[in-house]
Amino acid sequence: MAKGVYEKEPGSGVWWIRYADANGHIRREKAGTKSNATRLRHKRKQEALEGKLPELRKRRITFGQIAEAALAHSLKHKSSHKDDKSRMALLLEWFGDRPAETITPAEIDAKLSAEARARDWRPATSNRYRALLSLTFRLAVQNGQVKSNPARNVRSLDEKNARIRYLTPGEEARLTATIERDYPDRLPEFIIGLYTGMRASEQFGLTWDCVNMEQGVASIWQSKSGRPRHVSLSSKVLKAFEELRKRAQNGPVFRHPDGRPYKKPAREWFEAALRKSEIPDFTWHCLRHTFASRLVTAGVSLRAVQDLLGHQGIAMTLRYSHLAPEVGRSAVEQLSQWSEEKLSKVEDATGTKTDTQPKTARRRDAAVLQYSADEKQVI
């Protein structure tokens, strides 16, 4: 057997080499077959004589390593850190020990699709896993650990067809009456949830230093997107905050009457109130849908609704656009009225009139072209 050539595990058929490089450091390399090992050791000995250092392959970064960095980022910047940690557990089952650079968009898509079928996921659930993967790889690219983000090339599923459940005025009246009668201590938090549209994590994470009663603003310094946002408070919401202020002047806003704080809506009392009010298929998050739906129905612009909900992009807000069809009708009616007024001015200036006689079409075409020239527009 050649010196410096050996099997690390006898009988494995995988051969290694041992040699001293140009700096005298002892190095070991995996070479494969025995013949490859013999040739590689000869090459390394020649490089050492010439004073060259070998170009050794860097150890590949695993998905598990970049996942640790992503979770650290989530803990520092995202209020949904617990959700990220839970989802990451499944992603680590899929890719934990894999070199991150070897994970492909097709593989991610296949994993998400298979899991969605097996667990009957909604589109939104698949999209949250994809978003976490994308965040993980994006941070790894920024840190120089990988060259690209394969999750960017995995399509997001359409969530627009998901049903948006919101309270009707009659349901709100019944639910409010039930809460006032059976759970009066919970009424302020219900009103705040319904009339601010805050996410549960945002609402129940509030402390009194974040609530400016004089200006009517609640500041959320760590929203779901990681960016701060400011929520406008109506007079009805301010009254609810005043009621809560009787329980404590500082620290967490939401407390039991005995002073103990809580950071999420208690499912037990809310579900019981819904049953007593005969309101099916409703959750606390549907209060946020109700807030958004009523804004759109009242004619508030989608851009303003986006800002009030704290959506990072307009795409999520567009789910509510179907609730205001009159906005679209109003827009096209304005266009028709504008066109008629402009054409009428052109006809008055040229002495032409619009009718159904044969020469009218040619006269109108000429009038429109003249108007366009006057207005410096291109048709």
Q: Which residues contact 23 (CB under 8 A, 6 or more apart)?
A: 53
Contacts of 216 (CB under 8 A, 6+ apart): 232, 233, 234, 238
Q: What is the CA radius of gyration of the chain?
A: 33
| pTM for the full predicted model | 0.54
Contact 47, 55 (CB under 8 A): no
Distance CA 358, CA 368 (A): 17
107 with 95: CB under 8 angstroms? no
Q: What is the dihedral of CA 71, 76, 80, 84, to 10 degrees?
A: 0
Q: How much is the pLDDT for 306? A: 87
Per-residue confidence of the chain (379 residues) as pLDDT tens digits?
A: 678 888 888 888 888 888 888 888 888 888 888 888 888 888 888 888 888 876 665 568 999 999 999 999 988 887 678 889 999 999 999 999 999 999 999 999 999 999 999 999 988 899 999 999 999 999 999 999 999 999 999 988 876 555 678 899 999 999 999 999 999 999 999 999 999 999 888 899 899 999 999 999 999 887 766 678 899 999 999 999 999 998 888 899 998 878 888 877 778 899 999 999 999 989 999 999 999 888 888 888 888 888 888 887 787 777 777 665 555 566 567 677 777 776 776 666 655 554 444 444 455 445 444 444 444 443 3
Of 98, 191, 116, the residue nearest 154 (C-alpha): 116
- Three-state DSSP at 26 gives strand
CA end-to-end distance (rounded Å), the chain? 86
User: CB atoms < 10 A from the CB of 226, how many?
Assistant: 14
Which residues, including other chains, have CB under 8 Å from residue 375's CB and lie 6 or more apart?
A: none
Question: Quick check: 4 and 18 in contact, CB under 8 A?
Answer: yes
Looking from the CA of 164 toward its CB, the CA atoms found within 13 Å total 20
β-pairing verdict for 26-32 and 15-20: antiparallel
